[in-house]
C-alpha cells in the first residue's frame, strides 16, 4: 500500500513538472527580456534622479533606486522645508526626514490584522541569536510585534541612536493608498484613515500631501 502511494505521488509530481516547465520557461524568458529592454530607461531615470545626484552610487539593475529616492527627490526638487539625514555609510539603509521636531516615515512598516483591525510592526532590530534559536517564532505573535504607539517610540529611539544632533518628539507615517489596498485591502485603508498618526496619499499626490502637511504643522 505504501509503495502504491509513493508510486502515484511520484507519477503525479512528474506530470505536474511536465505541464509546468513548458509554461515556466517562456514566462521566465519574457521577464528576462523585458528586464533587459527596460535597463536603459531605468539607468537614465537613475542617473537623473535627485537622490543619485546628491549621493552617487553604482547602478544596480536588479534594484536601481534607493528606498528614499521618491520622497527625497520630491522634497528637494520642490524645495520643501524638510531636512534629510543619511543613516551611516551603508547605501541601502533608509534615511530620516525631519520637519521641525517631527520625523516623517515613508517605509510603510506595518502589518494589518483583519481580525482585530489593528496595525502592528515587527521590529527588524532583534537579537539575531535569539531569532535563530527560536525556530517557532511567528511574525503574528503579539509578544514580538509592536502596537502603533510602541512603534512610534521604537522609531524615535532608532532615530535618536543614529542622529544625535537632532531631537524629534513625534512620528508621522506616510502611506501609499494603492500599496496599502493591494497589500491589506479596503478594510485596512478605512482603518488607517481613522488614525491620526498616518497620512494616506493617492497615486502621484505625495507632493500635495507633503505641502499640506508642512502648511498645517
Classify residue 55: in a domain, yes or no.
Answer: no
- Are 83 and 187 part of one and the same domain? yes
- Model pTM score: 0.73
Tens of pLDDT along the chain (217 residues)?
544 556 566 667 677 666 777 777 776 676 666 566 666 666 667 676 888 888 887 767 666 678 899 999 999 999 999 999 988 777 778 899 999 999 999 999 999 999 899 999 988 654 444 334 433 444 445 567 899 999 999 999 999 999 988 899 999 999 999 999 999 999 999 999 999 999 999 988 999 999 999 999 9
Classify residue 73: in a domain, yes or no.
Answer: yes
- Are 44 and 75 part of one and the same domain? no
- Are 177 and 117 part of one and the same domain? yes
- C-alpha–C-alpha distance, residues 140 and 130, integer Å: 17
pLDDT of residue 130: 37
Domain count, the chain: 2
Classify residue 59: in a domain, yes or no.
Answer: no
- Are 170 and 119 part of one and the same domain? yes
- Are 41 and 103 part of one and the same domain? no
Classify residue 60: in a domain, yes or no.
Answer: no
- C-alpha–C-alpha distance, residues 116 and 134, integer Å: 26
- Are 85 and 39 part of one and the same domain? no
pLDDT of residue 128: 41
- C-alpha–C-alpha distance, residues 144 and 1, integer Å: 45
- Are 97 and 204 part of one and the same domain? yes
Q: Which residues form the domain of 13? A: 1-48
- Are 165 and 197 part of one and the same domain? yes
Classify residue 43: in a domain, yes or no.
Answer: yes
- Are 157 and 78 part of one and the same domain? yes
User: Which residue in 179, 215, 207 sits closest to 107, CA to CA?
Assistant: 179
Classify residue 162: in a domain, yes or no.
Answer: yes
- C-alpha–C-alpha distance, residues 207 and 118, integer Å: 28
The dihedral over CA atoms of 127, 129, 132, 137, expressed in degrees to the nearest 10, equals -40
Classify residue 53: in a domain, yes or no.
Answer: no
- Are 91 and 181 part of one and the same domain? yes
Rounded to 5 degrees, what are φ and ψ at 99? Answer: -125, 115
- C-alpha–C-alpha distance, residues 77 and 138, integer Å: 42
- C-alpha–C-alpha distance, residues 75 and 98, integer Å: 11
Taking only the tens place, the pLDDT of each residue in 68-111 is 999 999 999 999 999 999 887 777 788 999 999 999 999 999 99
- Are 29 and 79 part of one and the same domain? no
- Are 107 and 44 part of one and the same domain? no
Classify residue 40: in a domain, yes or no.
Answer: yes
Amino acid at each position: 500500500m505504501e509503495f502504491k502511494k509513493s508510486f502515484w505521488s511520484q507519477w503525479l509530481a512528474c506530470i505536474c513538472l511536465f505541464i509546468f516547465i513548458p509554461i515556466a520557461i517562456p514566462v521566465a524568458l519574457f521577464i528576462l527580456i523585458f528586464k533587459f529592454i527596460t535597463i536603459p530607461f531605468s539607468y537614465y531615470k537613475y542617473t537623473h534622479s535627485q537622490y543619485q545626484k546628491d549621493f552617487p552610487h553604482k547602478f544596480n539593475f536588479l534594484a536601481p533606486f534607493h528606498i528614499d529616492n521618491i520622497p527625497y527627490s520630491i522634497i528637494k526638487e520642490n524645495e520643501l522645508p524638510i531636512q534629510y539625514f543619511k543613516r551611516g555609510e551603508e547605501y541601502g539603509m533608509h534615511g530620516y526626514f525631519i520637519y521641525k521636531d517631527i520625523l516623517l516615515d515613508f517605509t510603510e512598516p506595518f502589518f494589518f490584522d483583519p481580525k482585530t483591525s489593528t496595525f502592528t510592526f515587527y521590529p527588524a532590530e532583534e537579537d539575531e541569536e535569539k531569532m535563530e534559536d527560536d525556530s517557532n517564532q511567528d511574525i503574528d505573535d503579539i509578544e514580538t510585534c509592536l502596537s502603533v504607539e510602541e512603534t512610534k517610540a521604537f522609531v524615535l529611539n532608532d532615530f535618536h541612536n543614529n542622529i544625535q544632533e537632532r531631537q524629534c518628539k513625534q512620528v508621522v507615517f506616510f502611506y501609499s493608498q494603492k500599496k496599502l489596498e493591494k497589500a491589506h485591502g479596503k478594510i485596512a485603508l478605512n482603518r488607517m484613515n481613522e488614525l491620526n498618526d498616518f497620512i494616506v496619499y493617492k497615486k502621484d499626490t505625495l507632493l500635495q500631501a507633503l505641502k499640506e502637511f508642512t502648511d498645517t504643522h
